[in-house]
Amino acid sequence: GENVEQHPSTLSVQEGDSAVIKCTYSDSASNYFPWYKQELGKGPQLIIDIRSNVGEKKDQRIAVTLNKTAKHFSLHITETQPEDSAVYFCAANPSPGGTSYGKLTFGQGTILTVHP
């Protein structure tokens, strides 16, 4: 089955700096790669996603890049703010045919702390 590795497990940055979180996956059939933000006591919230026919996607301060050949994808947050502090999870969909976007294998998570 699919295996998703996420690094680093913790990341501490100063407000205004950039943060980068990297993930690798094992199943070449996966074609959907979302990133979720989870705040304390809440469920994961989708912040950005990318499909395998796209190499990069950007939404304001957040961007995701995908390298299908190397089977890795990354989350980039620019101009970080204290409210960006949370646990971030990458995920990949392991379904045969890759069309079930809620059926996900998650990484282990990255605790991001943004210091004012």
Partner 1 sequence: EAGVAQSPRYKIIEKRQSVAFWCNPISGHATLYWYQQILGQGPKLLIQFQNNGVVDDSQLPKDRFSAERLKGVDSTLKIQPAKLEDSAVYLCASSLGDYNTEAFFGQGTRLTVV
Biggest distance spanned by C-alpha atoms of the chain: 44
Report the relative pairing of strands 62-67 and 32-38 from DSSP bridges.
unpaired
Q: Does 41 bind partner 1 (CB under 8 A)?
A: yes
Question: Which structure tokens are listed for 31?
Answer: 């074609």
Smallest distance, Å, CB 5 to partner 1? 11
Provide the β-strand partners of residue 96: none
* Pick 10 or 18: Cβ nearer partner 1: 10
Report the relative pairing of strands 10-14 and 56-59 from DSSP bridges.
unpaired
* Pick 65 or 110: Cβ nearer partner 1: 110
Report the relative pairing of strands 32-38 and 45-51 from DSSP bridges.
antiparallel
Smallest distance, Å, CB 59 to partner 1? 14
Site for partner 1 in 48-107 (CB under 8 A): 49, 89, 91, 99-107
**Out of 43, 53, 69, 83, the residue judged to bind partner 1 by CB under 8 A:** 43
Place of tokens 């605790």: 111
Rule CB under 8 A: which residues touch partner 1? Answer: 4, 6, 34, 36, 41-46, 49, 89, 91, 99-109
